[in-house]
Amino acid sequence: MPLEIRLINESEYTAVNDFYNMTSHIGRPAPLIIRSYDKFCWEFINCPVGTSIYAGAYEHKEGNKPVLVGTQCVVLLKMIDAKGNAIMTAKGEATLIDIKALTRYKKKDILKELFSILIEECGKRGIEFLWGFNTIPATYKRLGFDNPFKSYHGLLVLKPVKAYKNIVSLKINTTPMDKFKIAAGAGLSYLYSIKKSFILSRKNKYRLNFELNENEILFRNASSPDKLIFLLQDKNCFDWRISANPYHISYKSYQLMDENNMLSAQVICSIQKDVAFIEQTLFDSKLNKKNRQLFLKRILTLLENENISVVRFTGFTNNRLNQAEMNLVKSIGFLFTGKGEWFTFKNLSADSIINPENIYLSRMYKQGVN
């Protein structure tokens, strides 16, 4: 049974989504919740920079149609540098390989061949680098990727009893000892977060609104004088990532405007049930620490009034701006509980001087499905 590795045509995308819904693959069994084709189209076809590039592994059996046994894709996303120059990038997603196919073709490196097809196509389209997040760094290292650093998980408990019930409900077969540890953790996080109460409010020249504006200029002001790279979050990006998001996730934007009605700070949050995620924070470098703390405290109060029990944050320490964000949320009571996923990076341009440490990162860089 020969195995064919090639790019997938858009006319075959229905089969790709069916493969996702029906197949046990690396890292998990087939999903318990079926993904609709509309959700697939939102995530991989209707992207702000165009349709994703998909590669597939097809098993050929005599007398039958080829059967899809593996997929890998890259989502095209545009970043900008400190001068506003556009950089075409691609984010790795949708690594699905049928477990039985891995056994049948154990002498073939299916994942490596899928990536080879994608990298070749990315080169034709002027993609400068591949990036993403993963939990299998050894595999990506074998594929020629770097895994330079990890993310960090932070949380702030607003309602300890409700937070405890929420965490317990997410776990299967929870033992009494597990429940004790969860209760102790929720209590400790709540006590640690009390410091936010001691940040006293005061009048200032900034005005709060709940709009969601493009943030390219704010990013440049936030990252100055460092020469960082940033995911372009223009209207097309926000319309795709937030407005058109088909999952049961609500988004809120909080912004500070100065006396000239210029954007001085922007915090984007997502809410799922009674848990809020701070997706991204950006502050003009002229905004002092006290006003940043007051702004975040105001947001936490608004979230608490909406019966939010826990606020989560994903942080990075790869550059000065990301490190400053982590230090800021720690200063208002966030407790960091451990490390998360690895950041994955592969340079595709021979003359590129892009360093992964110079890429500003946030949870907005994820796919927005959870």
Percent of the chain with pLDDT over 70: 86
DSSP secondary structure code for residue 36 in this structure: P
The residue among 204 and 31 whose pLDDT is bigger is 204
In a domain, 81, yes or no: yes
Q: How confident is the model at residue 82 (pLDDT cuts 50, 70, 90)?
A: confident
Query: Residue 276 in contact with residue 311, Cβ under 8 Å?
Result: yes
Residues 96 and 161 placed together within one structural domain of the fold: no
Residue 65: predicted pLDDT: 87
Question: Residue 204 contacts by C-beta under 8 Å, 6 or more apart in sequence?
Answer: 291, 294
Q: What is the CATH number of the domain that holds 300?
A: 3.40.630.30
| CA separation for the pair 75, 16 (Å, rounded) | 15
Question: Span 35-62, mean pLDDT?
Answer: 93
The model's confidence at residue 232, banded by pLDDT at 50, 70 and 90, is very high
Kindly state whether residues 168 and 257 are assigned to the same domain: yes
Question: Residues 73, 207: one domain?
Answer: no
Say if 309 falls within a structural domain: yes
Q: Which residues pair with 208 in a beta bridge?
A: 256
* 330 belongs to a structural domain: yes
Q: Mark whether 216 and 315 lie in a shared domain.
A: yes
The number of domains in the chain is 2
> How far apart are the C-alpha atoms of 111 and 127, rounded to whole Å?
20
Are 246 and 169 within one domain?
yes
Domain ranges, residue 165: 151-365
Residue 142 domain-assigned?
A: no
Both 159 and 119 in one domain: the answer is: no
Interatomic CA distance for residues 242 and 233, integer angstroms: 11
Are 167 and 100 contained in the same domain? no
112 pLDDT band (50/70/90 cuts)? very high
Rounded to whole angstroms, the Cα distance separating 172 from 59 reads: 36
Which of the four pLDDT bands, split at 50, 70 and 90, describes residue 49?
very high
Asked if 279 and 201 sit in the same domain, the reply is: yes
Looking at residue 242, the DSSP 8-state letter turns out to be I
Claim to verify: residue 224 and residue 336 sit in the same structural domain: yes
My answer on whether 107 and 194 are in the same domain is no
Residue 232 lies in a domain: yes
Cβ proximity of 294 and 201 under 8 Å:
yes
Query: Which residue is listed with tokens 């073939």?
Result: 108
> 339 lies in a domain?
yes
Which of the given ranges, 12-26, 158-172, 193-207, 208-222, has the highest pLDDT on average? 208-222
Residue 86 sits in the same domain as residue 197: no
- Mean pLDDT score of the chain: 88
- pLDDT, tens digit (0-9, with 9 covering 90-100), for 203-231: 678 899 999 999 999 999 999 889 899 99
124, pLDDT greater than 60: yes
- Rounded (5°) CA angle 335-338-340: 120
Taking a C-beta distance cutoff of 8 angstroms, is the pair 278, 311 a contact? Answer: yes
- Residue 236 confidence (pLDDT) above 90: yes
Residue 303 pLDDT > 60: yes
Average pLDDT for 26-40: 75
> In this predicted structure, what is the pLDDT of residue 99?
82
- The answer to the question of residue 134 being in a domain is no
Residue 133 lies in a domain: no
Residues 95 and 180 in one domain: no
Q: Give the total residue count for the chain.
A: 370
The reported pLDDT for the residue numbered 107 is 83
Contacts of 173 (CB under 8 A, 6+ apart): none
The answer on pLDDT for 170 being more than 70 is no
